[in-house]
Structure 1
Amino acid sequence: MSLFNLLKSHRKQWLIPVCLGQILSLCITGTSVASSALWTYHSVNIPYTQNFCTYLVLFIIHTWRLYYNNTTHNNNNDNLEPSSKKTKAWTFFGFSFADVQANILAVLAFKSTSVLSALIVSSWTLPCIMLLSTLFLGYRYLFGHFGGVVLCLLGLFMLIWADTMADEASTSNHNWIGDLICLMSATLYAISNVTEEYLVHRCTTQEFLSRAGFWGSLFSGIQALIFEYNEWTTIEWEWKIVVLMMGYVISLSSMYSLGPTLYRMSNATFISMSLITSNFYSLLAGLIFLDAKMPSFYPIAYILVICGVTIYNLTDPPRTNQNEYQSIKNDDTENNRRYLCI
């Protein structure tokens, strides 16, 4: 019996989304480690350029895949209709704009306020996703979903408290403007995540990533040209910088490429909960490469987050009053298998 058939019941499928969620969290950790190394060891700070390279890679790879599938009439990976008839271009435009600006504002927030304050305010992403999903996707969450979210938030606040106990610098450099920037970033992340969930159920993975890559590279490329042109001319491009840039691009493009599969298996709230563990993985990277010290409560916080994610995923999917959306979410087993193969 295949692994997929063994896990085909809803109650037994919890392991695959949880593992995929942690892979996405590891990808986020890879981007933060690469960015930190670029700044710490080489004084390179070009977030617009890094995001531009990522979106450009997504656009090139998945546009080629889309063209190949269309020319060979090989549509085995998705049974959805072409998005041109179902989804208007402005939806991709809105998703990419929110996603690009959220990434940049997150960087600015950590420079304009304390780490502790930024982490607390960024936790607004999770309840904001639930609110937007309720308003625009028609979700009706169950008691188990709220219980899982509460456990994740408890784990997050334990991570924050452990950071405060371990590093007094985490409470310095407090600025209300930075808090406002962080709030805007968290809201834009929620908007982009909910919009992505909407889009991936109405178009193929190749179509989504191709269009998102096009608009994302356009937005971030223009901003990179405006804000980072002088930085480009002062950088001494050595192989270590190029390797770190490649590490960032590979990590973030991998996260975007795996995202549609996980969105089809779960939802934006679950993914946001899963990504909280990236703080723990960042600490492990610091232990290995930067001689960091592990705060006492970090393992407990990690366990709380994983338990919250598991409880959320074991609960029946959120109810919805939108028949079309529900019919897409409840695809048969064979279709889900195809999504896993993308």
Structure 2
Amino acid sequence: MEMEEERLVQGQIEIFQQLFAFADSMLLKCAVELGIADIIHRNGRPMTLHQIAAELPAPSPDISSLFRIMRLLVRKHVFVRRDRPIGGENGANSNPQPEFGLTSASRWLVRDGELSLAPMVLMQNYPSTLPVWHCLSRSVKEGGVAFEKVLGVDLWGYGAANPEFNQLFNSAMVCTCKIIMKAVMAEYDHGFSRFGSLVDVGGGTGKAIAEIVKSYPHVKGINLDLPHVVATAPRYQGVTHVGGDMFEEIPKADAVFMKWILHNWSDEDCIKILKQCKKAIPENTGMVMLVEVVLQCEANEDAWKDIKMVLDVTMLVYLGGKERTEAEWRKLLKGGGFNHCNITPLHNSLFSLIEAFPN
């Protein structure tokens, strides 16, 4: 009976943790909006609350509120706290003055960092799109995409009609692109040397293809995305931006590159896209390179497993897409006309590289 009561108490704790999990995301958003990680990073040392507050825009922030937020973020290992005596290192009877520093987690919240997830934090917590999560149970009962049920338009249409969200979405995609491309270039950069031309399908503002072309100037880079996306794309040496629809036509090239694109779409739509890819590449020598999440649902030690499953549900809510297992990827590629593929997990990454060949 005592053990059963302990299990019930533990279950209650777990439900409370899940119940308030949304607060974790809101805390991250608050930290990014206030620029706390940026302030500490810019100063190069741990700082007291008053020192942090002094660098925040007017009016002066409420120190008590800031302390309570930082206290929980320290508990969540986002920041680290140390107490330094006001009277100096040897001030034994002095009241401790807490200082807050960066951790390996909060370094990802520095907006100007080489690698940052700050734009993704803001995009995923955009106020006008958060209500779509409240429609999840309705989507389960009725089918369809929660985002479209709530906002009356799909994600791409919403971005086209809302410049603020479009800019935020593009910034989030650029930041994830940097993370993805660092992993890809570390393990596959030699593979790009074989191509004379490469088209990045759904390449956003062209950051990925530009990085490839910079390393391999002989490669003719083509960046394909929707017209309103490429309209804001900067110019890159050796890269041509094309506004278009991957369901209708993909520019011809030696190979097609797609990073985190097919997870946005249903199996039926993915097959349509893959068939367009096949038309765009040489029949005997062409290939498609996908950078995607590969789900591993069986018991294993994959540190990314929970994140991958959360992403899968996020795709369900926002786009009606999905993350896929290795078997599902192979089946999908075969349906699109690619009979052979190699799947390689990228080291220390959420993603895998999938090389697909029509013959």
Q: Greater share of strand residues, 1 or 2?
A: 2
TM range (shorter): under 0.3
The structure with more radius of gyration = 2
Q: TM-score if structure 2 supplies the norm length?
A: 0.24
